[in-house]
Amino acid sequence: MRDISRYLEEAQAQKLRVTHVTETHIHADYLSGSRELAKATGARLLLSDEGGEGWRYTYDDGNQTRLRDGDTFMVGNVRIQAVHTPGHTPEHLSFLVTDTPRGDAPSMILTGDFVFVGDLGRPDLLDEAAGGQDTRFEGARQMFVSVRNKFLTLPDYVQVWPGHGSGSACGKALGAVPTTTVGYERALSWWGHMVEKGDEAEFTKELLSGQPDAPLYYGRMKLENRDGPALLGEVRPLVELSVEEVKVRLTAGARLIDTRKKEEHQAAVPVGSVNLPDGKTFETWAGWLLTPDRELILLAPGGRAEALRRRLWMVGLDRVIGFVPSAEGLETAPARPVPVPELDAHEGALILDVRASTEYGEGHIPGARQLHAGRLPWRLDTLPRDREIVVHCQGGARSAAAASLLRAEGFQVLELAGGYDAWAKAQKQEPPV
């Protein structure tokens, strides 16, 4: 994480020094804090030198060691071995961990986005979000070879510690528990029997099917992580802005991030604001709906503003200039969601479904256009400004955020109360004709 304070505090609490910093691959979901931590501590930064032209790291602060397949380094008595495991990305490394006083057999493997609990890393992100052309097929082939030749050659007892859990967009069916073992995945994973049989065609088909839409900010993350995330260095505390200062900044092009619950936001929408509620998905939705070219102001209590600012660093949104603790004094207007029975009164409106394409494929409102919320900022020019847009998701959370962005950009926007769930329920309750 780019907010390196937690690592520094943990090291100090355990009376340890940070001597090595590494990562498994050039990430797409968040900006990496590896460069920041290595710079702050004087540690060696160990990065993959695999992957070929175009997807090797391009920066070097003079503190780097480049790792190839089979390279090892020691941290005390612990030996770390780099294992090249391409598939999710061409340069991807996993790390075998051996506690040498107990012998030469590895005890665990840190798999990053290679092998998850119950799933594998998706090989289509370079196509989906980074401008690749059919790289997913080569990625799937590489994943098959990596699993067969690197992962399944390990003893069954080796613990597997992946980089993501349930809910990550880096796979489609990640398990909810944090760890697994090689033997468990060999026996019970969806892919184990395919690899054992050598059925690469079926493996590829299954791996590529049903992958969730990738938010388009992933492409920006890839490039910034490859070329070196901006160093934050010493950061000044976030300042509280007056209402008048906020108005001036908004007029000059700044964006107000309303971190209140969607119900509070809908009751009194500050003009020009985007609603990103303070919760587990805050930084993810920020990456979906915001771009780094604007100054940002947080509508959040003083006790939360600094923490939220640091979470925005995760997606490279560094230009937070201050916060305002309440909407009092700002120009606001209500934005009541439209109940399903009132939908017919908006004939001619574009029904915009901001769910993933897989959700849309499982059922949707007739005539609705699907556009994942994480692609909205880059697709605004494809939406009509001369008619209403009724936005919905599954239950109303994602669509509230998406609708707020469209509203801030000047579109005629309504939200469908309860989302697709409410619409589908209403269809079941209608008497047969």
What is the SS3 assignment for 95-134? EEEEEHHHCCCCCEEEEECCEECCEECCCCHHHHCCCCCC
| pLDDT band with cut points at 50, 70 and 90 for residue 185 | very high
**The pLDDT value given to residue 166:** 67
Residue 135 is predicted with a pLDDT of 86
pLDDT digits (tens, 9 = 90+) for 372-383: 999 999 999 999
pLDDT at residue 131 in the model: 63
- Mean pLDDT in residue range 305-328: 97
Two tokens at 291?
């771009």
**Which residue carries 């969601």 as its tokens?**
337
pLDDT-derived band at 168, boundaries 50, 70, 90: low
At residue 430 the predicted structure's pLDDT band, cuts being 50, 70 and 90, is low
Q: pLDDT by residue (tens digit) across 138-153? A: 999 999 999 999 999 9
Tokens linked to 163: 């980089």
Question: What is the model's pLDDT at position 171?
Answer: 59
**Residue 170 among the catalytic residues:** no
In percent, the amount of the chain with pLDDT more than 90 equals: 87
At residue 172, the pLDDT reads 59
Identify the active-site residue in 290, 373, 393, 403: 393
Q: Longest Cα pair distance anywhere in the chain, in angstroms?
A: 76
Domains with residue ranges and CATH for the chain: 5-227 (3.60.15.10), 243-325 (3.40.250.10), 340-429 (3.40.250.10)
Amino acid identity for residue 113 in this structure:
D
Q: What is the pLDDT of residue 211?
A: 84
Q: What is the spatial distance between Cα 149 and Cα 161, in angstroms, rounded to a whole number?
A: 19
User: pLDDT confidence of 301, banded at 50, 70, 90?
Assistant: very high
At residue 380, the pLDDT reads 97
Distance, in Å, from the CA atom of 314 to the CA atom of 28, rounded to the nearest integer, reads 11
Over residues 305-333, the mean pLDDT reads 97
What does the alpha-carbon distance between residue 353 and residue 393 come to, in Å, rounded to a whole number? 6
List, for residues 203-248, the tens digit of each pLDDT value. 999 999 988 788 889 989 999 999 999 999 888 999 999 999 999 9
Closest of 375, 317, 378 to residue 30, by C-alpha: 317
Residue type, 202: E
Cα–Cα distance between 356 and 48 in angstroms, integer?
32
Calculate the average pLDDT of the chain: 94
Handedness of CA 370, 374, 380, 385 (dihedral sign): positive
Local confidence band at 173 (pLDDT 50, 70, 90 cut-offs)? low
> In this model, does residue 169 exceed pLDDT 80?
no
Q: Which residues contact 349 (CB under 8 A, 6 or more apart)?
A: 387, 388, 389, 390, 414
Integer Cα distance of 300 and 292 in angstroms: 20
